[in-house]
Structure 1
Amino acid sequence: MGFYYFDYTYFLFIVPALIVTMYAQFKVKSTFSKYSRISTIRNMTGAQAADSVARFGGAVGVQIQRIQGNLTDNFDPRDNTIRLSDDVYSSTSISAVGVAAHEAGHAIQHAHDYFPNKIRAALVPVTNFGSSLGMPLVIIGLILPVKYNFVVYLGIALFSLAVLFQLVTLPVEFNASMRAIRALDESGIMYPDELEGAKKVLKAAAMTYLAASFAAIMSLLRLIVLAGNRRGKD
């Protein structure tokens, strides 16, 4: 077990991923905090903005609910509901309106059967399966003798499903933000200078998805290298 956690591959693949992830988290929190202190001229709350953007984009029957937590905002296609965190639901800040509009962007995708969104939804069950079994199989395979290296590769194959899910998530999230910004602009919910702030908030949020994808890819590469090193000893 020791070589798995303390070897050069950790510093080559995992440390860079951790640095990128930490920077992305810092960026989204600092940007959200900055624009949380600036209210929109129209004084529209996040909940109102989400409802307006969804209707503007043609998504009907969307429910808006409050959810506890910090930046736990999400859209659930199963019940066509946008759930907004405490810092977004009743806030009139640029950050709140931008985040709420982003979730409304997902509702619009759902209403218009956005194809990448369908692919992402289809990958959820296989991703959950791969995520739950992939890494345990890799660890077990690394403990077993080298002749059982196929167990490691099976784990890597399952883990790669989670990486694929992260990559498919990127266009879905970027498209939701594009729809949000377009709706905020064309509907007149935000003025141009406010819109620039919302764009910065959503760009910072997008960095977290890029960081997650980068981290997943780096983890996968590390597992491949570890398996390859063992194979060379066979």
Structure 2
Amino acid sequence: MNYSSSPIFFLLILVMGISWLIQWRLRSKFSEYAKIGLQSGLSGRQIAELMLADHGITDVRVISAEGRLTDHYNPADKTVNLSEAVYEERSAAAAAVAAHECGHAVQHATAYSMLQFRSAMVPMLSSVATYMPWILMAGVLMIRTSVIPLGVGIALFSLTTLFSFVTLPVEFDASRRALAWIDKRGIVTTQEHAMAKDALWWAAMTYVVAAISSLATLLYYVSIFMGRRR
């Protein structure tokens, strides 16, 4: 069977193309909204610190991280890591990102179940990630002699696919918390709120496409496995 001509393979290529377009659109949106200053005049760092304080969170630090779009919350050391631009900027984009990452800190502080589930998967996936690609490669190369290596690889890859789908409610919930807070606190105007919401929507789409891409990849390996067993 020529797996490069299978429908699932073409689906995978299509998803990869869509992923690239969404990444491009995300960068474009953030660049656009980063140029529009907030009427409140608050920086990303100030917004993050204010949101944490409003939720009674005193054990989380807001720090600057190198790079662009490298913003994240680290539950291990309880830090909200804002990229250099977001940390200093006073824009709708910076407000959206800073509040979103603090949304994860609020999830952590309130024991949000999906975040706990995702966090519990991280140690296992960190170990799996080191050797899973090699197992999958060996499984494809050895498919004519044994389906066991590929079967093991598929089982491991299914964990990463599950993780990508578990991530979706975590990200959407963090954005929901962020938008509700910046609106209630008066951090943004109505127009700025719309820009922040749009920026977070495009950021969320990157996770959606990543999950679909992971599922398409998993199905591709499954199709190889099932083709050999026929």
Distance of 1:212 and 1:108 partners within structure 2 = 24
Structure 2 SS opposite 1:148: coil
2:23 maps to which residue? 25
2:184 maps to which residue? 186
Q: Is the 8 A contact 2:47 2:98 kept in 1?
A: yes
Residue in structure 1 matching 2:107, options 106, 109, 117 = 109
Q: Is the 8 A contact 2:143 2:228 kept in 1?
A: no
2:46 maps to which residue? 48
1:76 maps to which residue? 74
Q: Is the 8 A contact 1:135 1:156 kept in 2?
A: no
Residue in structure 1 matching 2:149, options 151, 174, 180 = 151
Residue in structure 2 matching 1:219, options 217, 220, 225 = 217
C-alpha offsets along residues 77-104 of structure 1, whole Å, 9 cap, x if unaligned? 1221111111100000110111011011
1:85 maps to which residue? 83
TM-score, normalized by length of structure 1?
0.93
**Percent identity of paired positions between Structure 1 and Structure 2:** 35
- List runs of 5+ in structure 2 lacking aligned partners: none
Q: Which runs of 4+ in 1 moved over 6 A?
A: none
**Which moves more between the two structures, 158-167 or 47-56?**
47-56
- List runs of 5+ in structure 1 lacking aligned partners: none
Residue 5 of structure 1 and its aligned partner are, at CA, apart by 8.1
Distance of 2:83 and 2:2 partners within structure 1 = 39
Structure 1 SS opposite 2:73: strand
Residue 33 of structure 1 and its aligned partner are, at CA, apart by 1.0
Q: Is the 8 A contact 1:46 1:91 kept in 2?
A: yes
2:93 maps to which residue? 95
Q: Is the 8 A contact 2:66 2:83 kept in 1?
A: yes
Q: Is the 8 A contact 1:32 1:201 kept in 2?
A: yes
Distance of 2:134 and 2:216 partners within structure 1 = 18
Distance of 2:207 and 2:34 partners within structure 1 = 21
Letter of the structure 1 residue corresponding to residue 189 of structure 2? Y
Q: Is the 8 A contact 2:8 2:219 kept in 1?
A: no
How many residues are aligned here?
230
Distance of 2:143 and 2:170 partners within structure 1 = 42
Kindly report the root-mean-square deviation, in angstroms, between the aligned alpha carbons of the 2 structures.
1.7
C-alpha offsets along residues 49-83 of structure 1, whole Å, 9 cap, x if unaligned? 11111222332222111111001011111221111
1:57 maps to which residue? 55
Distance of 2:4 and 2:219 partners within structure 1 = 16
Letter of the structure 2 residue corresponding to residue 184 of structure 1? I
Residue 42 of structure 1 and its aligned partner are, at CA, apart by 0.7
Letter of the structure 2 residue corresponding to residue 99 of structure 1? V
Residue 8 of structure 1 and its aligned partner are, at CA, apart by 3.5
Q: Is the 8 A contact 2:48 2:62 kept in 1?
A: yes
**Which moves more between the two structures, 117-126 or 185-194?**
185-194
